[in-house]
C-alpha cells in the first residue's frame, strides 16, 4: 500500500501538497516509533528491577534506567509540530529523574519521610511527562512505569 505513493513521488507524479503530507506523515511515524522504542526499552529495564520498596537499590537502578532513557531520547529529533510538547516532556522527564535520585538518597540516609514526600513530587512530575508525551503523540510513553509503587 505504501509502495504506490512512494512510487508516485519517486516518478515526479502527484501534487506538492501530497508529497509534503506523505513526508510529514512519515516523519511523524518515524518519530513516534523511535520514541516509543526508547520508552519500551526503558520500561523493560524498570520491570526487571521489580517493585520499588524502601530498599535504596531499586531506586538507584530506576534512576540509572531513567538517565539512560533521557540520553536515548535526547538523540531523537521531533518534527516541528511536535517539538514544543517533546521539549516540555523532556524537561519534566529530567526533573523526574532528579526526583527519583532524591528518593534514593533519602532512603540511603534512612530519611523515610523525605523519601515519601519526594516520591509524591516524583509522581506529579511523572503525570506531567505523560501529559506531554500524549501531546507529542507518543503512545507508549504515556504509560506509567511498571514498578512504580501504588
The answer to whether residue 25 sits within a structural domain is yes
SS3 127: helix
Cβ neighbours, 10 Å, residue 85: 18
User: What percent of the chain has pLDDT above 70?
Assistant: 79
pLDDT at 4 exceeding the cut of 90: no
The range of the structural domain enclosing residue 110 comes to 3-9+17-142
The answer to whether residue 27 sits within a structural domain is yes
pLDDT of residue 124: 95
How much is the mean pLDDT over the chain?
Answer: 84
The number of domains in the chain is: 1
pLDDT digits (tens, 9 = 90+) for 14-52: 444 555 566 688 888 999 999 999 998 988 888 889 889
pLDDT of residue 43: 87
Nearest to 100 by CA among 142, 127, 71, 66: 66
The answer to whether residue 147 sits within a structural domain is no
The answer to whether residue 132 sits within a structural domain is yes
pLDDT digits (tens, 9 = 90+) for 79-88: 999 999 999 9
The runs of H, that is alpha helices, within the chain are 3-10, 16-49, 56-74, 83-108, 112-135
pLDDT of residue 1: 29
pTM of the shown model: 0.79
What's phi and psi for 110, nearest 5 deg? 60, 35
Residue 133 pLDDT class (50, 70, 90 cuts): very high
The answer to whether residue 138 sits within a structural domain is yes
The answer to whether residue 150 sits within a structural domain is no
Amino acid at each position: 500500500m505504501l509502495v504506490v505513493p512512494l512510487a508516485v513521488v519517486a516518478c515526479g507524479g502527484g501534487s506538492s501538497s501530497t508529497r509534503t503530507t506523505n513526508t510529514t506523515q512519515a516523519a511523524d511515524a518515524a518519530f513516534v516509533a523511535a520514541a516509543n522504542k526508547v520508552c519500551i526499552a526503558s520500561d523493560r529495564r524498570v520491570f526487571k528491577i521489580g517493585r520499588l520498596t524502601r530498599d535504596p537499590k531499586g531506586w538507584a537502578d530506576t534512576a540509572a534506567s531513567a538517565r539512560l532513557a533521557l540520553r536515548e531520547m535526547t538523540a531523537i529529533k521531533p518534527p516541528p509540530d511536535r517539538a514544543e510538547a517533546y521539549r516540555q516532556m523532556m524537561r519534566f522527564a529530567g526533573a523526574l529523574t532528579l526526583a527519583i535520585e532524591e528518593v534514593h538518597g533519602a532512603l540511603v540516609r534512612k530519611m523515610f519521610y523525605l523519601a515519601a514526600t519526594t516520591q509524591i513530587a516524583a509522581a506529579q512530575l511523572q503525570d506531567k511527562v505523560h501529559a506531554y508525551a500524549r501531546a507529542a503523540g507518543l503512545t507508549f510513553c504515556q504509560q506509567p512505569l511498571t514498578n512504580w509503587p501504588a
